[in-house]
Amino acid sequence: MVLIPDLAVQGAQMLLVLVLAPLLTGFVRKIKARLQRRQGPPIVQPYRDLVRLMRKEVVLADNASWLFRIIPYLIFAATWVAASLVPTFGTGLLFSWAADLIAIIAFLGNARFFLALAGLDVGTSFGGIGSSREMMIASLAEPAMIMIVFTLALIAGSTQLSTMAEFMASPAVGLRVSLALGLFALIMVAIAENGRIPVDNPATHLELTMVHEAMVLEYSGRHLALIELTASLKLLLYVSIIACLFAPWGLAAAGAGWPALAVGVAAYVAKLAAGGFLLAVFETSIAKMRVFRVPEFLGAALMLGLLATLLRFVSGSF
């Protein structure tokens, strides 16, 4: 039976993203701390935080509804499913055809929709401000992302991430203007979607410009742990998408043997480390912008994406 090893590889991918996600977050924090000449917490600190939060009791606001309690599980499920369908160490996973890149974007949209509802559920002003701003940011980031998907899909002739990654790894790609524009736009969107500097600061509380942290302010205990894990997963997901599309080296082909898979995993970890390092350097070297500058930032990403798509429509050679 071919199904059993395929299933094992798919399961391994699901576990791998789950295990690596907090590590990536810890790694980025560590690098940032070192760049700021601080010692910083150990890389495994996010795991400890998660364990600590899981053990604590949940303090639920009096007014919180049933929806508030199931939303952490919902957004975790949506993000995890999305992350398990992205090629990380190998293409042609068992279920990779179940959703293409547009659907993966929509899963993340799913998670955002429900998290924004959670921000409104208790009826506090902080939750509202977070939800409202998150949806404003998303209203520009999501179309920008779709435009990037269009560009890449038109180059690769598919919206299927596995096929796209295989195409990108093949020599047929070449250097293209639209690819460069798409990469720039994708990085901008990834920064905004993950609430990183300069759009949002993941390390702040009680600052009037915060977005993500304001939405989850009322969460505690295991709920908060899941939300933190989801945020880490989302970061890992975006780094993985960028890696599999723009650095598709070392990806194991479908049905490859153990050695190829091992190479794939090693390459993936190296790519994550490189991505995390670059993110930390970028975040350290730039200041956070005012919330109403964010639309300009994302508008630029949207325009880059649209330009890249237009180039693809006008001529196949760009």
Partner 1 sequence: MTLTLVLACAAALLALAPAAVIVSRSPAATPLIYGASLIVTAISLAAALAHLLGAAAPFSVTLPVGLPWLGAHFRIDALAAFFLVVVDLGAFGASLFALGYGAHETAPGRVLPFYPAFLAGMTLVVLADDAFTFLLSWEFMSLSSWALVVSHHRVPDNVRAGYIYLLMASFGTLALLLAFGLLAGVDGLYGFAQMRVAHPSATFGALALILALIGAGSKAGLVPLHVWLPLAHPAAPSHVSALMSGVMTKVAVYGFVRIVFDLAGPPAWWWSILVLALAGVTTVMGVLYALMQHDLKRLLAYHTVENIGIIFIGLGLALAFEVYGMTFAAALAFTAALLHVFNHSLFKSLLFFGAGAVLNSTGERDMEHLGGLIHRMPRTAFVFLIGCAAISALPPLNGFVSEWLTFQAILLSPQLPSWGLKLLVPAVGALLALSAALAAACFVKAYGVTFLGRPRTPVAAVAAETDRFSLAAMFLLASLCLLVGILPGLFINALAPVSAMVLGGHMPAQTGAQWLALVPIAESRSSYDGLLVFVFMVLSGGLAAIAIHRLASDRLRRAPAWDCGYPDASPATQYTAMSFAQPIRRVFGSVVFAAREHGEMPPPGDVRPARLTVTIHDLIWDALYAPIAAGVGIAADRLNSLQFLTIRQFLTLVFCTLVILLLVLAIWS
CB of 131 to partner 1, least distance (A): 6
What amino acid is encoded at 92 in this protein?
G
Distance CA 277, CA 298 (A): 23
* Binding residues with partner 1: total (CB under 8 A): 88
Residue 257: helix, strand or coil by DSSP?
coil
Site for partner 1 contains 196 (CB under 8 A): no
Minimum CB distance to partner 1 smaller for 27 or for 76: 76
Could you give phi then psi for residue 244, rounded to 5 degrees?
A: -75, -20
* 203 binds partner 1, rule: CB under 8 A: no
Cβ closer to partner 1: 84 or 201?
84
Strand partners of residue 90? 252
Contact between 318 and partner 1 by CB under 8 A: the answer reads no
State which residue, 120 or 273, has the beta carbon closest to partner 1: 120
Q: Which two tokens stand for residue 162?
A: 């596995």
The answer to whether 67 contacts partner 1 (rule: CB under 8 A) is yes
Compose the 116-155 pattern: x for residues touching partner 1 by CB under 8 A, - for all others.
xx-xxxxxxxxxxx-xxx-xx-xxxxxx--xx--x--xx-
User: Distance between CA atoms of 7 and 159, rounded to whole angstroms?
Assistant: 23
Q: At what angle do helices 221-246 and 101-121 cross, to 10 degrees?
A: 160
- Written as one letter, the residue type at 40 is G
- Indicate the residue among 25 and 163 with the shorter CB distance to partner 1: 163
Is residue 61 a contact point for partner 1 (CB under 8 A)? Answer: yes
By CB under 8 A, is residue 204 in contact with partner 1? no
Cβ contacts of 88 within 8 Å, gap of 6 or more: 13, 16, 17, 240, 243, 244, 264, 268
- 174, 215 contact by CB (below 8 A): no
Q: Report 68-87 residues binding partner 1 (CB under 8 A).
A: 73-74, 76-78, 80-81, 84
Q: Using the minimum distance from each CB to partner 1, give the nearer residue, 195 or 305.
A: 305
Q: Which stretch binds partner 1 (CB under 8 A): 1-9, 97-105, 247-255, 268-276?
A: 97-105
Among 30, 112, 234, 271, binds partner 1 (CB under 8 A): 112
With CB under 8 A as the contact rule, which of the stretches 36-44, 53-61, 196-204, 253-261 interacts with partner 1? 53-61
Integer Cα distance of 191 and 202 in angstroms: 11
Measured between alpha carbons, how far apart are the two ends of the chain, in Å? 44
Q: Is 234 an interacting residue with respect to partner 1 (CB under 8 A)?
A: no
Rounded Cα gap, residues 212 and 163, in angstroms: 33
310: Cα within 13 Å, side-chain hemisphere: 6
Residues 276-295, mask of contacts with partner 1 (x by CB under 8 A): ---------------xx--x
Alpha carbon distances (Å) from 297 to 13, 115, 270, 301: 33, 23, 29, 7
106 is a site residue for partner 1 (CB under 8 A): yes
Binding to partner 1 by residue 36, rule CB under 8 A? no
Rounded least distance, CB 112 to partner 1, Å: 7
Interface with partner 1, residue 226, by CB under 8 A: yes
Structure tokens at 30: 């560590």
- Is position 55 an interface residue for partner 1 (rule: CB under 8 A)? yes
- Cβ of residue 266: shortest distance to partner 1, in angstroms? 27
Burial class (CB in 10 A: 0-12, 13-18, 19+), 269: middle
Q: Considering the complex, what minimum distance in angstroms separates the CB of residue 224 from partner 1?
A: 11
Given the rule CB under 8 A, which of 1-9, 37-45, 112-120, 232-240 is the region that contacts partner 1? 112-120
Q: Rounded to whole angstroms, how far apart are CA atoms 174 and 84?
A: 29
Q: Is 252 helix (H, G, I), strand (E, B) or coil?
A: strand
